[in-house]
Amino acid sequence: MADERKIVDFWFDPLCPWAWMTSRWILEVEQVRPIEVRWHVMSLAVLNEGRELPEQYVELMKKAWGPVRVAIAAEAEHGNEVLGPLYTALGTRRHPQDRELDRATVAEALAEVGLPESLADAYDSTEYDERLRASHAEGIGLVGQEVGTPVIALVNDAGEKVGIFGPVVTPAPKGEEAAKLWDGVRAVLEIPGFYELKRTREQGPIFD
């Protein structure tokens, strides 16, 4: 009997290049394993509030609010199903194209996926911040405050929702390699008390 299709929840911040790499992998997994990805917004700006950070990162966090505010506004106004295409449009501009996600670029991404460019008004607004913080809290609550984005989660065989940070990978595996990585991730998520596998990164994100 084929495996029942599993919902995989994926929390992202469009500024994070590592979340982008993982997102391209999980979309590949969707083609080769019985999963369905459900997208959610988390926020590096929220995560890093009150922390001592290098000045360069402080400036980056100031720029991090706008894109996630627009993404959460899009979900609020048009449903969760718009987040995947919008994330791809935003992430393509930010990562492979190496563009800043300023308000004009975000508006361009909205237009590409058929969403009203008026949603870009949320870029500088706090109107949806409560919803943004709630979405962020849901994801980070599954993994703790010591990690960032991406977070992926599923309901395990015991009926419990479990999450993990990562996997952090470059380049994004394709085909059977993507499937093998997913099989490993799913396996560790089924183990109570599993916490961490890690090695030092020796290269940056490879966008292809």
| Domains and their CATH numbers in the chain | 6-189 (3.40.30.10)
Predicted confidence at residue 116, as pLDDT, reads 98
Comparing C-alpha atoms, which of 45, 71, 70, 43 is closest to residue 57? Answer: 45
Q: What is the mean pLDDT of each run of 10 residues along the chain (208 residues)?
A: 78 97 98 97 92 77 94 98 98 97 98 97 97 97 91 92 94 96 94 87 86
Q: Which amino acid is at 33?
A: R
Predicted confidence at residue 1, as pLDDT, reads 36
Which three-class secondary structure string do you get for the chain?
CCCCCEEEEEEECCCCHHHHHHHHHHHHHHHHCCEEEEEEECCHHHHCCCCCCCHHHHHHHHHHHHHHHHHHHHHHHHCHHHHHHHHHHHHHHHCCCCCCCCHHHHHHHHHHCCCCHHHHHHHHCCCCHHHHHHHHHHHHCCCCCCCCCCEEEEECCCCCEEEEECCCCCCCCCHHHHHHHHHHHHHHHCCCCCCCCCCCCCCCCCCC
Predicted confidence at residue 119, as pLDDT, reads 98
Q: Are 153 and 163 spatial neighbours (Cβ–Cβ below 8 Å)?
A: yes
pTM of the model: 0.93
Q: Are 22 and 168 spatial neighbours (Cβ–Cβ below 8 Å)?
A: yes
Predicted confidence at residue 64, as pLDDT, reads 94
